[in-house]
Structure 1
Amino acid sequence: MALVQTGFKLTSGVYRGLDWLAPLGDLLLRLYVANVFWKAGQLKIQSWDSTLYLFREEYSVPLLAPELAAYIGTGVELFFPVLLAFGLAGRFAAMVLFVFNIIAVVSYPTLNAQGIADHQLWGLLLGLLILRGPGKLSLDHWLWPALRRRIDV
């Protein structure tokens, strides 16, 4: 019985330590995914003529004219990663990027296996953020309780 108690105490301590580190993990997860999309948006605005060419010739975004798709796609990649990084409307930002990620895969039929694997990873990480929320090291964590009190939800 003493061995079981010792094992329980050790694992309890490890679990408490992991619980303490979890907000940092949530932050790093948000920053990693936000950085991926932010860099893609930065690349698009650095060479706008190339971006327009790609949207006209390579990508086939459903239901949108290529120029409109280029503007919307670039806007999504520059705006929502900032929200995600700060954890402001974190779940909403993650949902938008999750859908955007799916559209990117569908719109680029010649995406190679590594590209598909990357998008699957980003989708999985965004799914975790949607389910768990942005965590304690986020603006949502600090602002949401005050907002809920203010509107009596």
Structure 2
Amino acid sequence: MTTMRATPMSFSRTIYRLHEAVVEWSAALPLSIVQLGSRVAVAEVFWQSAQTKLASWPVTLQLFAFEYRLPLLDPGLAALMATVVELSGAAMLGLGLLARLASLMLLGVVATIQIFVYPDHWVEHLMWTSLLLLILSRGAGVFSVDHVVARRIRAGG
């Protein structure tokens, strides 16, 4: 009776084959699924932020006046601009409607937050930025209004 014994070489081959299987499987994942997930994740962050601002406008104005203190902007105007951009950008991203424009708008919000408000939260801002850059560079994907409109335009109607 012989017993099978794992050798370092057979273990290495097994790991390599496992790695190749994961690479093959992940390469088959449609980019549109990743784009959709990215859009929904970032849209939710900014939608919730805008909803919080709207839920208590007086508190929002105080935050912009005393904590956020953006240079060169009146706190009331800054609060209004941030809320409008967050709401419209989140809605546009969620629908995949002018998603690249929405990504640019929200990248501006992230840059403002990073530079002037919460510079220590760079990891979170980097995550949002990465997702927004994916959408900016690759578009909204198949599951979007942008895709439907582009197909109609290409079809001539």
Which TM-score band (shorter chain)? 0.7 to 0.9
Q: Distance in 2 between matches of 1:86 and 1:135?
A: 11
Residue in 2 that maps onto 1:122: 128
What amino acid sits opposite 1:86 in the alignment? L
> Which of 15, 25, 28 matches 1:17?
28
Counterpart residue type for residue 40 of structure 1: S
Give the match for residue 3 of structure 1.
none
**Shift in CA distance, 23/57, structure 1 to aligned 2, threshold 3 Å:** same
Shift of 1:149: 6.3
* TM-score of the two chains, using structure 1 as the length reference: 0.80
Residues 59-74 of structure 1 correspond to what in structure 2 (within 5 A)? 59-74=68-83
Gaps of 5+ in 2: 1-16
Larger Rg: 2
Q: Which amino acid is 1:144 matched to?
A: A
1:66-103, Cα deviation, whole Å (9 max, x unpaired): 10000110111111101001100011101110111101
The amino acid that maps onto 1:41 is A
* Residue ranges of structure 1 left out of the alignment (5+ in a row): 1-6
Matched, 1:95 2:95: no
Query: Structure 2: how far apart are the matches of 1:15 and 1:30?
Result: 20
Could you list the per-position Cα deviations for residues 35-88 of structure 1 after superposition, in whole angstroms to 9, with x for gaps in the alignment?
001110011111111100011111122332110000110111111101001100
1:35 maps onto 2:53 in alignment: no
Question: Secondary structure at 1:58's aligned position in 2?
Answer: helix
In 1, Cα distance between the equivalents of 2:33 and 2:129? Answer: 20
Q: 2:75 & 2:134 partners in 1: Cα distance?
A: 31
CA displacement at 1:146 relative to structure 2: 2.6
How many residues in Structure 1 have an aligned counterpart in Structure 2?
Answer: 139
Letter in 2 for 1:129: I
Paired with 1:52 and 1:74, the residues of 2 have a C-alpha distance of 11
Match of 2:7 in 1: none
Indicate which of 130, 138, 142 corresponds to 2:144: 138
Partners of 2:22 and 2:60 in 1: CA distance: 52
Deviation at 1:13, TM superposition (A): 6.3
Report the Cα distance in structure 2 between the residues aligned to 1:120 and 1:15, rounded to whole angstroms. 23
TM-score (norm 2): 0.78
Q: Which residue of 2 aligns with 1:80?
A: 89
CA RMSD across the alignment: 2.4
